[in-house]
Amino acid sequence: MKTNAVNAVNFNVLKVYLTQERNMCYANNTASGNRLPYGETNMKRIYIKEDACISCHLCEVFCRLKHSRYDDPVKAHKKESPRPLARVRLDENGAVALSVRCQHCTDAACSRACLTGALHRDLLTGLIMVDDERCIGCGTCSLVCPLGVPQIDEARGKMVKCELCQDVEIPFCVANCPNEALIYAEIREEATVVTGADHTARSLL
């Protein structure tokens, strides 16, 4: 499987951004009485336990399976054409790896830059969602995203990204992580720890 290796500088910038985003979410929750400014419930996100990630890429494999017409990962990987796009990627720097996906940012650059309004925040869930009917596949969102996570599905000419598997209780990547390196939890619970003594994003928890 192809490794998405990044240099140390870019890798550290990625880690810092992820931590800052979680701190911002926690600040918003605190200011609004532990309620997000949109919706009635705290929004869940996927958090990364960096020390537990073994770079197995199964998050990518099972994300691909989630968006496949097959229910078998081998068939989804080898037989389906075009192969489904994983909405998550694994960035690696030596022995350290980060599973990267859409963070549904508090101040989402992608939705602000979207030319047609296809990228928008769902007022009930707080997630940044894609309206396929309005998406023109221009790629502007990918250019402005700090993590570079939106990608164009060339077969459909539409942008795709992680929407946290809204039709199941636990996202596929989290449910199938063999080392429990991914955690699906409310911002209030996890970001409180991020804002503690360790601001280095060592565990992103």
Measure the CA–CA gap between 161 and 156, rounded to whole angstroms: 14
Per-residue pLDDT, 205: 34
Structure token digits, residue 59: 């998050």
Q: What pTM did the predictor assign? A: 0.74
Per-residue pLDDT, 2: 47
CB 93 within 8 A of CB 11: yes
**What are the domain boundaries of the chain?**
4-106+165-194
Bridge partners of 130, per DSSP, are 119
E strands, 19-171, in order: 44-48, 89-93, 96-100, 119-121, 128-130, 151-153, 158-160
Q: State the 10-residue block means of pLDDT for the chain, 205 residues long.
A: 51 61 52 41 79 93 94 89 92 87 91 95 90 95 93 93 94 95 74 34 33
Crossing angle for the helix pair 8-31 and 187-194, to the nearest 10 degrees: 120
Q: Which amino acid is at 77?
A: H
Q: Which residues contact 152 (CB under 8 A, 6 or more apart)?
A: 137, 139, 142, 158, 159, 160
CATH topology of domain 4-106+165-194: Alpha-Beta Plaits (3.30.70)
